[in-house]
Protein backbone atom coordinates (compact mmCIF):
# COMPACT_ATOMS: atom_id res chain seq x y z
CA UNK A 1 0.00 0.00 0.00
CA UNK A 2 1.18 3.51 -0.86
CA UNK A 3 0.47 6.40 1.50
CA UNK A 4 0.71 9.88 -0.05
CA UNK A 5 1.11 12.80 2.37
CA UNK A 6 0.66 16.49 1.50
CA UNK A 7 1.18 19.38 3.93
CA UNK A 8 -0.86 22.49 3.11
CA UNK A 9 -0.81 26.02 4.52
CA UNK A 10 -2.87 28.90 3.10
CA UNK A 11 -3.35 27.16 -0.25
CA UNK A 12 -7.04 27.90 -0.88
CA UNK A 13 -6.32 29.02 -4.43
CA UNK A 14 -4.78 25.72 -5.54
CA UNK A 15 -5.53 23.01 -2.99
CA UNK A 16 -8.71 21.72 -4.66
CA UNK A 17 -6.99 21.39 -8.03
CA UNK A 18 -3.91 19.77 -6.48
CA UNK A 19 -5.91 17.21 -4.53
CA UNK A 20 -8.14 16.33 -7.49
CA UNK A 21 -5.12 16.00 -9.76
CA UNK A 22 -3.39 13.72 -7.26
CA UNK A 23 -6.50 11.59 -6.73
CA UNK A 24 -7.01 11.25 -10.46
CA UNK A 25 -3.42 10.11 -10.91
CA UNK A 26 -3.62 7.59 -8.08
CA UNK A 27 -6.87 6.11 -9.40
CA UNK A 28 -5.64 5.77 -12.95
CA UNK A 29 -1.93 5.01 -12.57
CA UNK A 30 -1.46 3.12 -9.29
CA UNK A 31 -2.53 -0.50 -9.52
CA UNK A 32 -2.38 -1.44 -5.83
CA UNK A 33 -4.03 0.07 -2.79
CA UNK A 34 -3.25 3.62 -1.71
CA UNK A 35 -4.39 6.48 0.52
CA UNK A 36 -4.07 10.26 0.27
CA UNK A 37 -3.56 12.21 3.50
CA UNK A 38 -3.65 16.01 3.44
CA UNK A 39 -2.67 17.92 6.58
CA UNK A 40 -4.00 21.45 6.92
CA UNK A 41 -1.31 23.17 8.99
CA UNK A 42 -3.48 25.79 10.70
CA UNK A 43 -4.27 27.74 7.53
CA UNK A 44 -5.72 31.22 8.06
CA UNK A 45 -7.64 31.15 4.76
CA UNK A 46 -10.23 28.73 3.40
CA UNK A 47 -7.88 25.78 2.88
CA UNK A 48 -9.33 23.76 5.76
CA UNK A 49 -12.93 24.33 4.72
CA UNK A 50 -12.19 23.32 1.13
CA UNK A 51 -10.50 20.12 2.27
CA UNK A 52 -13.37 19.22 4.61
CA UNK A 53 -15.85 19.79 1.81
CA UNK A 54 -13.86 17.55 -0.53
CA UNK A 55 -13.51 14.81 2.10
CA UNK A 56 -17.31 14.45 2.19
CA UNK A 57 -17.39 13.26 -1.42
CA UNK A 58 -13.87 11.90 -1.90
CA UNK A 59 -13.83 8.75 0.23
CA UNK A 60 -10.16 8.09 -0.54
CA UNK A 61 -9.13 11.41 0.97
CA UNK A 62 -8.10 11.74 4.62
CA UNK A 63 -7.97 15.31 5.98
CA UNK A 64 -6.18 16.26 9.20
CA UNK A 65 -6.05 19.68 10.83
CA UNK A 66 -3.66 21.60 13.06
CA UNK A 67 -5.20 24.31 15.21
CA UNK A 68 -2.10 26.44 14.69
CA UNK A 69 0.54 26.83 12.01
CA UNK A 70 3.45 24.73 13.29
CA UNK A 71 5.38 24.34 10.06
CA UNK A 72 5.76 21.95 7.17
CA UNK A 73 7.80 19.47 9.18
CA UNK A 74 5.20 19.10 11.93
CA UNK A 75 2.45 18.70 9.32
CA UNK A 76 4.34 15.91 7.57
CA UNK A 77 5.04 14.19 10.89
CA UNK A 78 1.33 14.33 11.68
CA UNK A 79 0.66 12.71 8.32
CA UNK A 80 3.31 10.04 8.90
CA UNK A 81 1.62 9.03 12.15
CA UNK A 82 -1.64 8.30 10.28
CA UNK A 83 -0.12 6.37 7.35
CA UNK A 84 -1.00 2.71 6.83
CA UNK A 85 1.11 2.01 3.75
CA UNK A 86 4.42 0.17 3.54
CA UNK A 87 5.63 2.99 1.26
CA UNK A 88 5.17 6.68 2.10
CA UNK A 89 5.35 9.43 -0.54
CA UNK A 90 5.42 13.14 0.26
CA UNK A 91 4.39 15.83 -2.23
CA UNK A 92 4.27 19.63 -2.36
CA UNK A 93 0.81 21.16 -1.99
CA UNK A 94 1.28 23.09 -5.23
CA UNK A 95 2.49 19.99 -7.12
CA UNK A 96 5.59 21.80 -8.37
CA UNK A 97 6.93 18.39 -9.34
CA UNK A 98 3.67 16.76 -10.40
CA UNK A 99 1.99 13.55 -9.13
CA UNK A 100 3.75 11.39 -11.73
CA UNK A 101 6.72 11.17 -9.38
CA UNK A 102 4.67 8.93 -7.11
CA UNK A 103 5.19 6.04 -9.51
CA UNK A 104 8.73 7.10 -10.46
CA UNK A 105 9.97 7.27 -6.87
CA UNK A 106 8.19 4.16 -5.62
CA UNK A 107 9.61 2.32 -8.62
CA UNK A 108 13.07 3.58 -7.69
CA UNK A 109 12.74 2.10 -4.21
CA UNK A 110 12.14 -1.30 -5.73
CA UNK A 111 14.46 -1.19 -8.74
CA UNK A 112 17.47 0.34 -7.00
CA UNK A 113 16.85 -1.42 -3.68
CA UNK A 114 17.15 1.77 -1.68
CA UNK A 115 15.31 3.02 1.39
CA UNK A 116 14.67 6.62 0.29
CA UNK A 117 14.16 7.96 -3.24
CA UNK A 118 14.32 11.70 -3.91
CA UNK A 119 13.07 13.82 -6.80
CA UNK A 120 15.86 16.17 -7.87
CA UNK A 121 15.66 19.01 -10.36
CA UNK A 122 19.43 19.49 -9.97
CA UNK A 123 20.41 15.92 -10.80
CA UNK A 124 21.70 15.09 -14.27
CA UNK A 125 18.66 15.13 -16.55
CA UNK A 126 16.60 17.32 -14.21
CA UNK A 127 15.14 20.67 -15.29
CA UNK A 128 13.92 23.89 -13.66
CA UNK A 129 11.28 26.23 -15.12
CA UNK A 130 9.89 29.58 -13.94
CA UNK A 131 11.78 29.58 -10.62
CA UNK A 132 13.08 33.07 -9.66
CA UNK A 133 16.82 33.43 -10.17
CA UNK A 134 17.59 34.43 -6.59
CA UNK A 135 15.61 31.43 -5.28
CA UNK A 136 17.31 29.06 -7.72
CA UNK A 137 20.76 30.42 -6.88
CA UNK A 138 20.21 30.09 -3.13
CA UNK A 139 18.75 26.60 -3.46
CA UNK A 140 21.46 25.29 -5.78
CA UNK A 141 24.36 26.54 -3.70
CA UNK A 142 22.69 25.56 -0.45
CA UNK A 143 22.14 22.03 -1.71
CA UNK A 144 25.69 21.88 -3.08
CA UNK A 145 27.04 22.81 0.35
CA UNK A 146 24.79 20.26 2.08
CA UNK A 147 25.85 17.54 -0.37
CA UNK A 148 29.51 18.19 0.43
CA UNK A 149 28.80 18.03 4.15
CA UNK A 150 26.47 15.01 4.14
CA UNK A 151 27.30 11.35 3.66
CA UNK A 152 25.07 11.06 0.60
CA UNK A 153 26.16 11.84 -2.93
CA UNK A 154 22.99 13.67 -3.94
CA UNK A 155 22.32 17.01 -5.60
CA UNK A 156 19.14 17.92 -3.69
CA UNK A 157 18.78 17.56 0.07
CA UNK A 158 15.83 19.89 0.69
CA UNK A 159 13.16 18.68 -1.75
CA UNK A 160 9.90 17.52 -0.15
CA UNK A 161 9.02 15.12 -2.97
CA UNK A 162 10.30 11.77 -1.75
CA UNK A 163 9.38 8.13 -1.29
CA UNK A 164 10.27 6.26 1.90
CA UNK A 165 10.05 2.66 2.92
CA UNK A 166 7.80 2.53 5.97
CA UNK A 167 10.56 1.15 8.19
CA UNK A 168 12.63 4.28 7.56
CA UNK A 169 10.02 6.61 9.05
CA UNK A 170 9.22 4.15 11.85
CA UNK A 171 12.87 3.84 12.88
CA UNK A 172 13.65 7.58 12.99
CA UNK A 173 12.84 9.81 15.96
CA UNK A 174 11.93 13.05 14.18
CA UNK A 175 11.51 16.39 15.94
CA UNK A 176 11.80 19.17 13.32
CA UNK A 177 8.73 21.34 12.73
CA UNK A 178 9.90 23.37 9.73
CA UNK A 179 11.46 22.70 6.36
CA UNK A 180 14.54 21.35 8.14
CA UNK A 181 12.66 18.07 8.56
CA UNK A 182 13.94 17.03 5.12
CA UNK A 183 17.51 17.49 6.32
CA UNK A 184 16.86 15.85 9.68
CA UNK A 185 15.57 12.75 7.90
CA UNK A 186 18.70 12.52 5.77
CA UNK A 187 21.02 13.15 8.70
CA UNK A 188 19.40 10.47 10.87
CA UNK A 189 19.05 8.09 7.92
CA UNK A 190 22.82 8.31 7.46
CA UNK A 191 23.25 7.33 11.12
CA UNK A 192 21.07 4.27 10.45
CA UNK A 193 22.94 3.43 7.22
CA UNK A 194 19.85 3.73 5.04
CA UNK A 195 20.43 3.86 1.29
CA UNK A 196 19.33 6.91 -0.72
CA UNK A 197 18.96 7.52 -4.45
CA UNK A 198 17.63 10.40 -6.51
CA UNK A 199 15.70 10.61 -9.74
CA UNK A 200 15.97 13.52 -12.19
CA UNK A 201 12.82 15.62 -12.09
CA UNK A 202 11.26 18.75 -13.54
CA UNK A 203 10.60 21.57 -11.09
CA UNK A 204 8.03 23.91 -12.63
CA UNK A 205 6.40 26.88 -10.93
CA UNK A 206 3.13 28.20 -12.32
CA UNK A 207 2.80 31.92 -13.01
CA UNK A 208 0.71 32.61 -9.89
CA UNK A 209 3.40 31.19 -7.63
CA UNK A 210 6.04 33.07 -9.59
CA UNK A 211 4.20 36.34 -9.02
CA UNK A 212 3.87 35.64 -5.28
CA UNK A 213 7.59 34.95 -5.03
CA UNK A 214 8.59 38.22 -6.68
CA UNK A 215 11.91 39.29 -5.16
CA UNK A 216 10.66 42.69 -4.17
CA UNK A 217 8.11 41.15 -1.84
CA UNK A 218 10.38 38.56 -0.26
CA UNK A 219 11.59 39.35 3.24
CA UNK A 220 15.36 39.66 3.46
CA UNK A 221 15.08 38.16 6.94
CA UNK A 222 13.53 35.07 5.38
CA UNK A 223 16.48 34.77 3.01
CA UNK A 224 18.92 35.16 5.89
CA UNK A 225 17.03 32.54 7.90
CA UNK A 226 17.27 30.12 4.98
CA UNK A 227 21.01 30.70 4.65
CA UNK A 228 21.43 30.25 8.41
CA UNK A 229 19.44 27.01 8.23
CA UNK A 230 21.66 25.64 5.46
CA UNK A 231 24.79 26.52 7.43
CA UNK A 232 23.44 25.02 10.65
CA UNK A 233 22.33 21.75 9.07
CA UNK A 234 25.62 21.40 7.22
CA UNK A 235 27.37 21.87 10.55
CA UNK A 236 25.19 19.19 12.15
CA UNK A 237 25.92 16.75 9.31
CA UNK A 238 29.67 16.92 9.97
CA UNK A 239 30.53 19.24 12.85
CA UNK A 240 34.24 18.36 12.88
CA UNK A 241 34.81 19.51 9.30
CA UNK A 242 34.75 23.21 10.17
CA UNK A 243 37.44 22.79 12.80
CA UNK A 244 39.61 20.58 10.63
CA UNK A 245 39.39 22.97 7.68
CA UNK A 246 40.17 25.92 9.97
CA UNK A 247 43.12 24.04 11.43
CA UNK A 248 44.54 23.36 7.98
CA UNK A 249 44.13 27.01 7.04
CA UNK A 250 46.23 27.92 10.08
CA UNK A 251 48.73 25.07 9.93
CA UNK A 252 49.49 25.58 6.24
CA UNK A 253 50.83 29.16 6.48
CA UNK A 254 52.35 28.47 9.90
CA UNK A 255 54.37 25.48 8.73
CA UNK A 256 55.36 27.26 5.53
CA UNK A 257 56.69 30.22 7.52
CA UNK A 258 58.51 27.90 9.93
CA UNK A 259 60.11 26.01 7.04
CA UNK A 260 61.15 29.24 5.34
CA UNK A 261 62.66 30.70 8.52
CA UNK A 262 64.52 27.50 9.29
CA UNK A 263 65.89 27.05 5.77
CA UNK A 264 66.67 30.62 4.74
CA UNK A 265 67.28 32.36 8.07
CA UNK A 266 68.43 29.95 10.76
CA UNK A 267 70.40 27.55 8.56
CA UNK A 268 72.73 30.16 6.91
CA UNK A 269 73.57 31.77 10.27
CA UNK A 270 74.11 28.35 11.83
CA UNK A 271 76.49 27.27 9.08
CA UNK A 272 78.35 30.58 9.30
CA UNK A 273 79.20 30.04 12.99
CA UNK A 274 79.53 26.25 12.97
CA UNK A 275 83.32 26.53 13.05
CA UNK A 276 83.09 28.02 16.54
CA UNK A 277 81.33 24.93 17.85
CA UNK A 278 77.86 23.44 17.72
CA UNK A 279 76.50 25.13 20.84
CA UNK A 280 77.84 28.50 19.77
CA UNK A 281 76.36 28.15 16.27
CA UNK A 282 72.95 27.25 17.68
CA UNK A 283 72.96 30.06 20.25
CA UNK A 284 74.13 32.75 17.84
CA UNK A 285 71.77 31.62 15.10
CA UNK A 286 68.74 31.69 17.41
CA UNK A 287 69.72 34.96 19.09
CA UNK A 288 70.32 36.86 15.86
CA UNK A 289 67.26 35.63 14.02
CA UNK A 290 64.81 35.75 16.92
CA UNK A 291 65.82 39.36 17.47
CA UNK A 292 65.72 40.28 13.80
CA UNK A 293 62.57 38.32 12.82
CA UNK A 294 60.72 38.22 16.13
CA UNK A 295 57.28 38.93 14.62
CA UNK A 296 57.71 36.26 11.94
CA UNK A 297 58.72 33.62 14.48
CA UNK A 298 55.90 34.65 16.80
CA UNK A 299 53.27 34.55 14.07
CA UNK A 300 54.50 31.19 12.80
CA UNK A 301 54.42 29.70 16.30
CA UNK A 302 50.93 31.10 16.98
CA UNK A 303 49.53 29.71 13.72
CA UNK A 304 50.99 26.27 14.37
CA UNK A 305 49.84 26.13 18.00
CA UNK A 306 46.28 27.31 17.32
CA UNK A 307 46.04 25.19 14.17
CA UNK A 308 47.17 22.09 16.03
CA UNK A 309 44.67 22.76 18.82
CA UNK A 310 41.81 23.11 16.34
CA UNK A 311 42.90 19.92 14.58
CA UNK A 312 42.89 17.95 17.83
CA UNK A 313 39.50 19.45 18.73
CA UNK A 314 38.13 18.42 15.32
CA UNK A 315 39.39 14.86 15.77
CA UNK A 316 37.77 14.69 19.20
CA UNK A 317 34.48 15.89 17.66
CA UNK A 318 34.71 13.16 15.02
CA UNK A 319 35.20 10.61 17.77
CA UNK A 320 32.27 12.06 19.72
CA UNK A 321 29.99 11.97 16.67
CA UNK A 322 30.98 8.36 15.99
CA UNK A 323 29.93 7.36 19.50
CA UNK A 324 26.75 9.45 19.21
CA UNK A 325 25.80 7.68 15.97
CA UNK A 326 26.40 4.31 17.58
CA UNK A 327 24.23 5.21 20.57
CA UNK A 328 21.50 6.58 18.27
CA UNK A 329 21.43 3.35 16.25
CA UNK A 330 21.31 1.30 19.44
CA UNK A 331 18.49 3.41 20.88
CA UNK A 332 16.44 3.27 17.70
CA UNK A 333 16.92 -0.48 17.46
CA UNK A 334 15.64 -0.90 21.01
CA UNK A 335 12.59 1.25 20.22
CA UNK A 336 11.95 -0.71 17.01
CA UNK A 337 12.27 -4.07 18.79
CA UNK A 338 9.91 -2.98 21.59
CA UNK A 339 7.34 -1.79 19.07
CA UNK A 340 7.57 -5.06 17.15
CA UNK A 341 7.19 -7.09 20.36
CA UNK A 342 4.04 -5.14 21.28
CA UNK A 343 2.59 -5.76 17.82
CA UNK A 344 3.40 -9.49 18.05
CA UNK A 345 1.58 -9.73 21.39
CA UNK A 346 -1.52 -8.19 19.84
β strands within 84-134, DSSP E: 87-91, 116-120, 127-129
Q: Please, which pLDDT band fits residue 216 given cuts at 50, 70 and 90?
A: very low
Percentage of residues in the chain having pLDDT higher than 90: 53
Domain ranges of the chain: 2-237, 240-345
Question: What CATH superfamily is the domain 2-237?
Answer: Spore Coat Polysaccharide Biosynthesis Protein SpsA; Chain A (3.90.550.10)
Single out the residue of 223, 258, 194, 59 nearest to residue 132, CA to CA. Answer: 223
Can you tell me whether residue 344 is helix, strand or coil? helix
Each residue's pLDDT tens digit, 136-193: 777 887 878 777 777 787 888 889 999 999 999 988 889 889 888 998 899 889 888 8
In sign, the C-alpha dihedral spanning 48, 52, 53, 54 is: positive
Higher pLDDT, 240 or 64: 64
Q: What is the pLDDT of residue 210?
A: 46
Q: What is the pLDDT of residue 65?
A: 97
Look up residue 98 and give its DSSP letter.
-
Given a cut of 50, is residue 221 above it in pLDDT? no
**Around 270, how many Cα atoms within 13 Å sit in the side-chain half-sphere?**
12
Q: What is the pLDDT of residue 215?
A: 45
Sheet with 196-200: list strands edge to edge.
61-66, 34-41, 2-8, 87-91, 162-165, 116-120, 196-200
Backbone φ and ψ of 296, nearest 5° = -65, -45
Write down the pTM of the prediction.
0.75
Q: Are 182 and 202 in contact (CB under 8 A)?
A: no
Q: Are 155 and 130 in contact (CB under 8 A)?
A: no
Q: Are 231 and 277 in contact (CB under 8 A)?
A: no
What average pLDDT does the segment 61-79 reach?
96
Average pLDDT, whole number, for the chain? 87
Q: What is the pLDDT of residue 212?
A: 52
**Could you give the CA distance from residue 202 to residue 224 in angstroms, rounded to a whole number?**
27
Amino acid sequence: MISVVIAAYNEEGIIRQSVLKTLDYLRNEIAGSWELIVVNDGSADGTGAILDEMAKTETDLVVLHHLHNYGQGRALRTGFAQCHGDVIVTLDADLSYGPQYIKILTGSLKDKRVDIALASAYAKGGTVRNVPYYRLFLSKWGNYYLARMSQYSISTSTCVVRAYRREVIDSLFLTADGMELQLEILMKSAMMNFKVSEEPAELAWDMDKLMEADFGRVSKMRIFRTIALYLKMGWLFRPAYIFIIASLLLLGPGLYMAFYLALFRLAPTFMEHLGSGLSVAVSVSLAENLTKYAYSFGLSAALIIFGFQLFIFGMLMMQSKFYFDELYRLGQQIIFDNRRNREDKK
